[in-house]
C-alpha cells in the first residue's frame, strides 16, 4: 500500500535555498510552457504526441532541470489540462511553489533527501518524526517539494508491503455512534473496547466555536477571513489515530477480524436524518479509513456487513424489535435478554461476519 509522508525541511543554507527557489521557478515556467505547447498541439495531448511535439525545444530551454523533472512537468501539464477540460474556466496557468522528482532520482540518506538541483546533487535535511523512521527503509516513489508559507516540506510516497492477513479465529464487531463514539464486541457480546462520545464531541464543538469566534473578531477588525488554526480538526485527527490504533492492536492480539458496517455505499442524500446528524458530529469516515489502513499494515482482516437493523435486533435470539428507540439498554421482549444498547449492536455486527453473503447482504474485502 502507498503512504505519503509529509516532512518539514530543516533550515537550509542560503545557497541551497537559492538553488531550490531557482529550480522551482524553472519548474513552474516549464509546466506553463508545456501548457502552451498543448494549446498549440491542436489535438488531445498524451505522453506520446506531446513529447514528440515539444520535448526537444522545452528540454533545451531548461538546462538547469533534470530531464526527468522536465518530463514530470509535462505529465503535470497533461493532468492540469485534463481537469480544465472537465471543469472549464480560463485556460489554466500554473502558479504553485512546488517541484516534482521521480523516485529513482532521489536518494534518502541521513534523515534527508539527495535531489538533483541545477546539475548538482544536493542534500536537503528533514525533520523525520520517530513514527516515520520505520517506513524510510522501504522503496519510495515520487517526491514532491513544496513551499507552504515560509517553510519547505517534502512529500514522500512510500510503498509499504502489506502484511498477509492472518486467518482469524473470530470477529470484533464495531458500532460507531453518538453517545458512544465506538463500542467493539466479539460475537458472544464480550466488550472489547468502548470510547464514550459525549465529552469528546463537546470538546470538539468547543474548539469549533473558538475558531469561529476568532474568525468573526478578525473579520470585524480587518475585514478578512483569517487562516484558521484548525485545532478542532487536529483534535479529531489525533484522536481517530489513537482509537484506530488501539482497536487494530486489540484485534491483532485477539487474532480476530474487524467487522464494520458498510456505510460508504449509502449515498449522502439517502442517509436517514438521524445518521446525517451523527456523521456531522464526528469524522466517522476518517476513523473508518484509519482503521482500514492500520489493519492492512498489521495484517488484520476487515469485513464489511450490512448495517440494516443492527441496533434493533436482539443479538441473542435474532428477534427484530420494531419500536426500539433510544433507550440505553436493549431489552428483548421475546427472550428477555438484556444488554447495553451499543454492545448489542456491536455483537450483531460481529455475528454478521459469519453469515453467508446473501443473508447479510454484506461485502467482504
Q: In this complex, which beta carbon is closest to Zn ion, that of residue 297 or of residue 321? A: 321
Pattern of binders to Zn ion over 113-152, x per CB under 5 A? ----------------------------------------
Residue 345, interface with Zn ion (CB under 5 A)? no
- Applying CB under 5 A, the span of 9-17, 108-116, 150-158, 329-337 interacting with Zn ion comes to 329-337
- Applying CB under 5 A, the span of 54-62, 189-197, 291-299, 327-335 interacting with Zn ion comes to 327-335
Looking at beta carbons, which pairs linking 326-333 to residues 24 or more positions away fall under 8 Å? 328/179
As measured in angstroms, the least distance from the Cβ of 292 to Zn ion is 32
- Give strand pairing partners of 7: 154
Taken as a whole, the chain contains a residue count of 365
Q: In this complex, which beta carbon is closest to Zn ion, that of residue 240 or of residue 344? A: 344
- Give strand pairing partners of 100: 144
The whole-angstrom distance between residue 309's C-alpha and the CA centroid of its chain comes to 29
Q: In this complex, which beta carbon is closest to Zn ion, that of residue 154 or of residue 313? A: 313
- Applying CB under 5 A, the span of 48-56, 85-93, 128-136, 328-336 interacting with Zn ion comes to 328-336
Rounded distance between C-alpha atoms, residue 295 and residue 314, angstroms: 29
Residue whose grid cell is 470538539: 204
Burial 295-331 (b: 16+ CB within 10 A, else e): bbebebbbbbbbbeebbbbbbbeeeebeebeeeeebe
Q: Which of 182, 258, 332, 349 lies at the binding interface for Zn ion (CB under 5 A)?
A: 332
HSE-CB for 236 with a 13 A CA cutoff? 20
Q: Which of 212, 219, 335, 357 lies at the binding interface for Zn ion (CB under 5 A)?
A: 335
Total residues binding Zn ion (CB under 5 A): 8
- Applying CB under 5 A, the span of 77-85, 188-196, 293-301, 318-326 interacting with Zn ion comes to 318-326
Q: In this complex, which beta carbon is closest to Zn ion, that of residue 63 or of residue 309? A: 309
Rounded distance between C-alpha atoms, residue 286 and residue 305, angstroms: 18
Q: In this complex, which beta carbon is closest to Zn ion, that of residue 64 or of residue 316? A: 316
Binders in 278-317 for Zn ion, by CB under 5 A = 314, 316-317
Q: How many CB atoms lie within 10 A of CB 255?
A: 12
As measured in angstroms, the least distance from the Cβ of 334 to Zn ion is 5
As measured in angstroms, the least distance from the Cβ of 335 to Zn ion is 3
Residues whose CB is less than 8 angstroms from the CB of residue 241 and which lie 6 or more positions away in sequence, other chains included: 290
Torsion angle of C-alpha atoms 266, 268, 273, 276, degrees rounded to 10 = 100
As measured in angstroms, the least distance from the Cβ of 330 to Zn ion is 9
HSE-CB for 247 with a 13 A CA cutoff? 37
Cα–Cα nearest to 208, from 242, 178, 182, 231? 231
- Applying CB under 5 A, the span of 82-90, 96-104, 279-287, 324-332 interacting with Zn ion comes to 324-332
- Applying CB under 5 A, the span of 8-16, 26-34, 197-205, 319-327 interacting with Zn ion comes to 319-327
Q: In this complex, which beta carbon is closest to Zn ion, that of residue 71 or of residue 344? A: 344
Rounded distance between C-alpha atoms, residue 23 and residue 116, angstroms: 10
Alpha-carbon dihedral sign for residues 228, 233, 235, 238: negative
Helices (H) and strands (E) in the chain, counts: 10, 15
| Contact residues for Zn ion, defined by CB under 5 A | 314, 316-317, 319, 332, 334-335, 337
Amino acid at each position: 500500500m502507498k503512504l505519503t509522508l509529509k516532512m518539514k525541511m530543516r533550515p537550509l543554507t542560503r545557497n541551497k535555498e537559492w538553488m531550490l527557489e531557482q529550480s522551482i521557478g524553472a519548474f513552474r515556467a516549464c509546466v506553463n510552457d508545456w501548457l502552451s505547447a498543448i494549446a498549440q498541439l491542436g489535438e488531445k495531448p498524451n505522453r506520446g504526441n506531446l513529447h514528440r511535439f515539444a520535448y526537444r525545444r522545452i528540454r533545451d530551454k531548461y538546462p538547469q532541470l533534470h530531464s526527468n523533472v522536465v518530463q514530470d512537468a509535462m505529465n503535470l501539464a497533461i493532468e492540469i489540462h485534463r481537469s480544465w477540460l472537465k471543469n472549464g474556466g480560463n485556460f489554466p496557468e500554473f502558479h504553485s511553489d512546488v517541484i516534482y522528482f521521480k523516485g529513482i532520482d532521489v536518494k534518502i540518506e541521513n534523515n534527508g533527501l539527495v535531489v538533483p538541483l541545477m546539475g548538482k546533487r544536493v542534500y536537503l535535511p528533514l525533520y523525520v518524526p520517530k513514527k516515520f523512521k520505520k517506513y524510510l527503509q522501504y522503496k519510495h516513489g515520487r517526491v514532491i517539494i513544496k513551499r507552504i508559507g515560509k517553510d519547505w516540506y517534502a512529500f514522500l510516497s512510500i510503498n509499504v508491503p502489506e502484511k498477509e492477513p492472518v486467518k482469524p479465529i473470530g470477529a470484533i464487531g464495531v458500532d460507531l455512534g453518538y453517545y458512544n463514539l465506538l463500542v467493539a464486541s466479539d460475537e458472544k457480546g464480550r466488550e472489547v473496547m468502548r470510547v464514550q462520545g459525549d465529552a469528546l464531541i463537546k470538546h470538539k464543538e468547543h474548539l469549533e466555536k473558538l475558531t469561529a469566534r476568532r474568525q468573526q473578531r478578525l473579520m470585524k477588525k480587518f475585514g478578512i477571513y483569517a487562516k484558521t488554526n484548525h485545532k478542532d480538526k487536529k483534535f479529531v485527527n489525533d484522536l481517530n489515530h489513537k482509537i484506530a490504533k488501539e482497536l487494530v492492536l486489540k484485534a491483532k492480539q485477539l487474532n480476530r477480524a474487524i467487522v464494520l458496517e458498510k456505510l460508504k455505499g449509502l449515498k449522502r442524500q439517502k442517509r436517514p436524518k438521524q445518521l446525517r446528524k451523527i456523521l456531522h458530529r464526528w469524522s466517522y469516515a476518517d476513523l473508518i479509513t484509519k482503521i482500514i489502513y492500520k489493519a492492512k499494515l498489521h495484517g488484520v482482516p476487515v469485513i464489511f456487513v450490512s448495517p440494516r437493523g443492527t441496533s434493533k435486533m436482539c443479538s441473542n435470539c435474532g428477534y427484530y424489535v420494531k419500536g426500539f428507540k433510544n433507550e440505553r439498554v436493549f431489552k428483548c421482549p421475546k427472550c428477555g435478554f438484556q444488554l447495553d444498547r451499543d454492545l448489542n449492536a456491536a455483537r450483531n455486527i460481529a455475528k454478521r461476519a459469519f453469515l453467508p453473503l446473501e443473508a447479510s447482504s454484506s461485502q467482504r474485502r
